[in-house]
Every structure is written in C-alpha cells, then in structure tokens.
Structure 1
Amino acid sequence: MPELFQEMYYGPNVQNLVESDDCKVMRLSDNSGEGMMTLYHVFPGVFLMYNDFHMKECISGFQTDMDLLCIDHCREGRIEQEVGQNAFSYLEAGDLRVDRRIHHSGKVEFPLSHYHGISIGFQMEIAAKEIPASMKGFSVDLYELQKKYCSDRTPYVIPGEPAIEHIFSELYNVPVKIKKDYFKIKVLELLLYLDALELSGHTEERPYFYKGQIEKIKAIQALLTQDLTKNYTLEELSARFDIALTPMKNCFKSVYGSPIFTYMRNYRMNYAASLLKSDKSLKVAEIAGLVGYDSPSKFASAFHQTMGKTPLEYRKSII
C-alpha cells in the first residue's frame, strides 16, 4: 500500500471494503445515506478518487496537514464547501475546482442529496519530484501550478469548459485492464491543460453565502417539501424567514441549482414519479392532489414537461 494512502486519515465513519497495492475502496455511511470512494494510486504522491455519494452530508473526519494540490471535477449533483469565515461556495455539474484543502473540516454537504465526481490529489513534496522522474522531459512544475491557482486561500473554480469535459468524460468509463496506465496519461494531460490555460476569461466569480443565509434557505426548502399540497409565494417566504427577496432567490439558486419554483416543480414531479412506481392503486388524479395540483390535466402537462412522458405512459413503462 503506497505511503500516501496510509498517511491520509478518513475518519471513524469510513470503512475499508477493499485494499490492494494500487487501490482502496471505502464506504462512508450515516443516517442520511451512504457514499463510496474508490481511490487509485497513480504516481508516487498522486491519487485519483471516484466519489459517489447518495446522502445529504458527508462527515468523514478527514483532515490533513500535508501540502496538497487537489483538483475536483463534479459530474452530477452539487457540493457545498466552507471557504473560511463561515462563508460557503458551491461546485456544480461541469465545474472544476483547484484548492489545497486548507479549509477542509471533514464535513461536506450535498444539497441535492447526491454527488458524483472525481478528485485528483498531489502530495506536493513527493509528487513534484516523482512525476518528472517517471516522465522524463515533462515540463509542468507542480509548485508553479499550485501558485497559479492557489495564491488566494479560497478554492479556484473553472466553470464547464469543453476541454475539461473531454478530459474527465473519458475517465468515467475506463476498461479495467488499462486503468493504471490510462490514469497516468489523463493526469498528465490535465496538468498540461491547467499549465497552459490563460486564466482571464476562464474563471467565474462565484458568490459566497454566509451561514445565516444558508440556514434560512435550507429552512425554506424544508418548509416547501414537507407538505407538497401547500403553495407559498416568494413574498410570503421572504417575510416568513426574514430574508430580502433578491438575496433569497440568489442564494436558493446557488444552494439547490435552480430557482425556487423550478426546483419545486422538479421535486413534485420526481415525488409523483415515485408514487406512480410504488403504489399502483393510486389514481393519477389522486397523485396530482398529493403533489399540490387541483387540476389533473395541469399535473399531467407538468409531468410530461419534466419527465418526458405522461403519468400513464410513465406508469406503463415501469416493469
């Protein structure tokens, strides 16, 4: 087992499932669900990890004093991360984040209750020597790359770029027999890309939100989803939770990825889909009422818009 794997502590909630010289599979579970982390050794001091979480939050206890450079790609879902001084930022599908894990407290939240992505980590002291030793003539200086993207203490986020999407899309479907060598090629490709990237025009200033705002937004989401037969106007929510209308709308979209009404329509339709699947005795009109629609025809139209099928077509398609 590479020394890097042994030095990294993941916390008491993490259980090792499989461990070999080049790979470690870990499961993290709590009352909100579970997550799987599949960690591969790529070069000395370099790891690549697949992250698949179906839970509201991940409390692993992971902390480290190692000098790290970490690159995270979000494939699906959203991730909430503290960036210091009770301020939080969000990584969404297609985003790439570069940071040093300075603020990592071992707790990460997933507002949509799922997250899928890849993390690539470099233990600087080892990787900066071993990559050039393994790949003669490789020109990227890891310390210069760290300085380029991590001069600020906050994470550096690059929103969906076609080149980044190309690099990572191929990493999500790698035949087992070529993984070891393929990971090396893709890690080097990513480093070359980040080294050559001109930062102007390729970054996006993401707003940070403070803990008090986020707590109110999560309370709003809890209220909206606890009884789907009830509807609230934005003005009612703003007054009830004592948060101004524009900050409320902006913060909700950053936390949950879509405006309030769009989020609730999708939430209602997904809940309706689960009822169509799990309880065949419920009529479509009854399900419409349970998710807040007085009109079955309006419900059917909204369901078709969201799910691509009418409620009856969806129910018939389930085997």
Structure 2
Amino acid sequence: MCRRKDREDSLIEPKSQVKKCSAHAEILQQNEERTVYRLRETDGEVRITSYPVFPGIELAYHDVHAPSYRLAEQGAAGLIEIQHCREGRAEYCCGGEHYFLAPGDLSVVRRAAIEGEVEFPTGHYHGITVTLDPALAPDCLSCILQDVDVRPSVLAEKFFADSECFVSRSSARVEHIFSELYAVPAGIRRGYFKVKVLELLLFLSALDVAHEKHGYTAAQVRLARAARDALLASTEDDVTISALSQELGASPSQLAASFRGVYGMTPAAFLRAQKMHSAAQLLRTSDRTVLDIAGQFGYDNASKFAKAFRSVIGVSPSAYRAGADSDSCAPTAEKAE
C-alpha cells in the first residue's frame, strides 16, 4: 500500500510536457498540454495529436489518410498500446499473423511485437491509442483504485500470456469508454483524460481474455491484396467475386472470406469507398469544382455523386470541403462549444 504523499508524488506530471518526436515526424503545434505532429515518409497524410496523461502514459488521436506508416519507436521494449478504431481499418502483424481493427474494435498489443509497418487497408483511419510504459507509469495508479490491480505490468501479464496481440470486437462497453473521448471540452481535458484512462484500465482489468481467434494468416492476406490489385486495375465497375476467384485461382468462398477479413467489406463496396476517399482527398487539397471531381470518378450527375459520397464519408461533398481543415478525431475547443 502506498502512503498518501508517495501516491501524490507519483501522479504529478513531469515538469516538462514537451514531447520529443523522432526524425521522421514534423511538429505542427506544441505546448505543455499537447503535441500535434505529421509523419514524414508516408504516401499520404498522417497527423497525430498527443496528450501526456500520467508519467509513462500518453493518449493520442490518429488521423490517417495513407496506406501505412512506420512506427516512431519500432523496437521500444515494454511499451503497451491500447487502440480504439473509430473509422476506417487498421492492420498489425504480430507473431506471423495479421490482426485487423474495424470501427468500434479495441486491441491491446505489445509495441515491440508489431512486425513491419502499421497498415491501413482502406487508406483511411481515425482512432485513439493509449500508450503505456510500465517502466515509467506509476504503480500507485492502483492506490487510486484500491479494489483492483491496474498496474500496466499486471495488464501485460494478463493480455500477453498467449499472444502479443489481443482484439476485442465492437461492444457497448467499449463504445461507452471511448465515445466521450472524441469530444472533450477544453477546460476539463487534462483531468478528464486521467479519469478516462483509469476507467479504461479498470475495464481491462476485468475483461475476459478468453476470446475467439481474430488473426489471419499471411496467405489469406496475400489473396485479399491480390484481389484488391485486380479490382483497382480493372476497367469494369462491377467485377464479381466469381470473376476474381477464377482470375486468382481461388474458391469464391475462400476469396470472399479473406477479402472481408482484410478490408471489412465486399469488393464492390471497397471499390466505391476507394473512389469516395480519393474524391475526398481532392476536395481537401484542390479547388476543383464538385462536379469536376464527380466526373473524374464516373459520375455525370452531382446528386448521384453526393449520395454515393455521403454513404461512405457521412456528409455531402460541399459540407466535407467546408470542414476539411478539421478532418480529425481529436477534440477541439470548437467541438465542445
């Protein structure tokens, strides 16, 4: 049991909250509360908004419009990452198997176990990552929650007993914890993050780790990626699973299961989503008219394009362009008002 004075000392933030970024990160904004940075060496846009919460514990919002990115500290020993996917899809390779996060999913992964780059199969991702460093995180987190043991080292023993990556599919309990983190009023942000991180650790301490296997083999991933390449190279708009399976020499059921496992949707839905995300990038980065962009993707009718765009992106093309500068899952003062 920790004495009160020891407990208070262990939970005081470091005097300097300035985050040191790696050489392949460009700092866009930095103060004592947060650091916003963009990753270089990526084929697209990757922006991360990072908040220190406790010593050794950081909460970061990831806004990704890219197929992949390289981890800043690839071999960092002991680091634990807890991820929540809000939009899009993320892929991690651990122990020779591939794990995928869909909207609403949560994962717990040992950073050093991630092989290669973090992939984003649909080229689009928004989500939260809570990073724990057991060597720096205060053991006295358990003194605040005296009924449970929420030390990061104990969580590591629990979640990595059989695998280096644990995935929990979308549920009301996971949604309850994370949903409020995407719109936190600026005035209470620091204290609120502390409360929510403690709530998350409490939730994980009670979570049943006896779960179904969510990993996919390298062969399944290769088959899905081959189907994706064939889809993107085709000049037809209605390529079927049957046609793809004949071209790739796989059974339709095998191909359909592998494709949905990797991309989370059917080939037809994937093709439509890719078009709309490409259109969204043009809306963010160019001054071309909506009708001009619609024509590039095969739409000669603005209303049909708007309907397809809304079905994937969630808002109309004009509304998306108007708010393109705030295409982020990180909370802002404007969101809170």
The runs of 5 or more residues in structure 2 that have no matched partner are 1-12, 323-337
Shift in Å, 1:113: 1.0
Q: How does 1:1-319 map to 2 (within 5 A)?
A: 2=14, 11-30=22-41, 32-85=43-96, 87-105=97-115, 107-132=117-142, 135=144, 137=146, 139-142=148-151, 143-200=153-210, 203-210=211-218, 212-267=219-274, 290=298, 307=310
Tell me, yes or no, if the aligned pair for 1:15 and 1:26 is still in contact at 8 Å.
yes
SS in 1 for 2:180: helix
* Identity over aligned pairs, percent: 31
The runs of 5 or more residues in structure 1 that have no matched partner are 309-313
Q: Which moved more, 1:180-189 or 1:244-253?
A: 244-253
Task: Determine the C-alpha separation between the residues in 2 that align with 1:3 and 1:152.
Answer: 38
Q: Which moved more, 1:94-103 or 1:136-145?
A: 136-145
Alignment CA distance shift 1:218-1:12 (3 Å) = farther
Shift in Å, 1:120: 0.9
Aligned length: 301
Tell me, yes or no, if the aligned pair for 1:70 and 1:101 is still in contact at 8 Å.
yes
Tell me, yes or no, if the aligned pair for 1:28 and 1:60 is still in contact at 8 Å.
no
Shift in Å, 1:105: 4.2
SS in 2 for 1:126: coil
Alignment CA distance shift 1:163-1:221 (3 Å) = same
Task: Determine the C-alpha separation between the residues in 1 that align with 2:90 and 2:206.
Answer: 27
Cα shift readout 1:125-175 (whole Å, capped 9, x = no counterpart) = 232424246x37463242332222221233111111112111111111111
Q: Which moved more, 1:55-64 or 1:153-162?
A: 55-64
Alignment CA distance shift 1:271-1:41 (3 Å) = closer
Shift in Å, 1:43: 1.0
Shift in Å, 1:67: 1.6
Cα shift readout 1:230-276 (whole Å, capped 9, x = no counterpart) = 54332332232233322211111112111223333555677789999
Task: Determine which structure has the larger strand proportion and give its number.
Answer: 1
SS in 1 for 2:135: helix
Alignment CA distance shift 1:168-1:252 (3 Å) = same
Shift in Å, 1:316: 9.6
Shift in Å, 1:88: 1.3
Tell me, yes or no, if the aligned pair for 1:256 and 1:263 is still in contact at 8 Å.
yes
Task: Determine the C-alpha separation between the residues in 2 that align with 1:146 and 1:280.
Answer: 49
Q: Which moved more, 1:223-232 or 1:182-191?
A: 223-232
Task: Determine the C-alpha separation between the residues in 2 that align with 1:193 and 1:219.
Answer: 39
Moved over 4 A (4+): 1-6, 8-11, 265-282, 300-308, 314-319
What TM-score do you get using the length of structure 2 for normalisation? 0.74
Alignment CA distance shift 1:187-1:215 (3 Å) = same
Tell me, yes or no, if the aligned pair for 1:26 and 1:38 is still in contact at 8 Å.
yes
Shift in Å, 1:103: 1.7
Tell me, yes or no, if the aligned pair for 1:80 and 1:108 is still in contact at 8 Å.
yes
Tell me, yes or no, if the aligned pair for 1:34 and 1:55 is still in contact at 8 Å.
yes
Task: Determine the C-alpha separation between the residues in 2 that align with 1:69 and 1:4.
Answer: 23
SS in 2 for 1:258: coil
Residue 58 of structure 1 aligns with an amino acid whose one-letter code is Y
Alignment CA distance shift 1:154-1:15 (3 Å) = same
Residue 36 of structure 2 aligns with an amino acid whose one-letter code is V
SS in 2 for 1:152: coil
Task: Determine the C-alpha separation between the residues in 2 that align with 1:24 and 1:156.
Answer: 28
Alignment CA distance shift 1:4-1:196 (3 Å) = farther
Task: Determine the C-alpha separation between the residues in 2 that align with 1:281 and 1:98.
Answer: 43
Task: Determine the C-alpha separation between the residues in 1 that align with 2:317 and 2:29.
Answer: 39
Shift in Å, 1:287: 7.8
Task: Determine the C-alpha separation between the residues in 2 that align with 1:215 and 1:10.
Answer: 33
